[in-house]
Copies of this chain bind each other. A is one copy, B any other.
Amino acid sequence: MKKSLGAQPALFPMPVLMIAAYDENGKVNVMNAAWGTICDMDKIALIIDDEHKTTQNIRKVKAFTVSLADKDHIAEADFFGIASGNKINDKFERTGFHATKSSVVNAPIIDEFPVAMECELAEIVQTNNLFAVIGKIINVSADEKVLDENGKINPLKLNALIFDQFQHGYYLATEKAGQAWNAGKDLMKGK
């Protein structure tokens, strides 16, 4: 018998997404978001309030990057979630982090995070049940150190932070459990 916990957002794992955009003057702002998902092979949906400085920036500039926060930068990643760009004018500068303009979209790539999706604003979806900023992923930039010899990103090298909405912890994926389209193949054969 399972225990009833009431309505709550019981999805795990959640990512720790670092959404970065320029304002109209070219100033960098970054926010931390755990609610987001891929919604096509080259699209990402971000569930972020319209009031955020970053959302306002994206509406104006129509581009952003989404980086994956990693273990080595947990303090800064968490700070980007605590601090509001509407209230702290030097939010990005305070971390000492650096940004490089993407070569494909008008948005800053944060140098310190290992992987960035460089996105154009595709659409802002607003319905009775959903507010989502949809980005078209034009390119992905990654540090060499997180790549395997096949040129693909290796989660065990990435040390990406994982957010837990149950108790608000950050976790790491440090153990591989299996391979998709393989772990269940015996069941495909029937019995």
- The residue of chain B having its C-beta at the shortest distance from the C-beta of A183 within the complex is B78
A80-107 with Cβ < 8 A to chain B: 80-83, 94-95, 103
> Within 8 Å CB of A83, what residues of B?
184, 187-188
Bound together, the chains give a CA A130 to CA B2 distance in angstroms of: 34
| Binary interface encoding of chain A residues 32-70 relative to chain B, with 1 for a CB under 8 A from any of its CBs, else 0 | 001111111111110100000000000000000010100
- Chain B min CB distance to A77 (Å): 7
A148-191 with Cβ < 8 A to chain B: 148, 151-156, 158, 160-188, 190-191
- The residue of chain B having its C-beta at the shortest distance from the C-beta of A95 within the complex is B187
Residue A117, interface by CB 8 Å: yes
Contact residues of A with B, CB < 8 Å?
2-15, 17, 34-45, 47, 66, 68, 71, 74-83, 94-95, 103, 109, 115-117, 122-123, 125, 127-132, 134, 136-144, 147-148, 151-156, 158, 160-188, 190-191
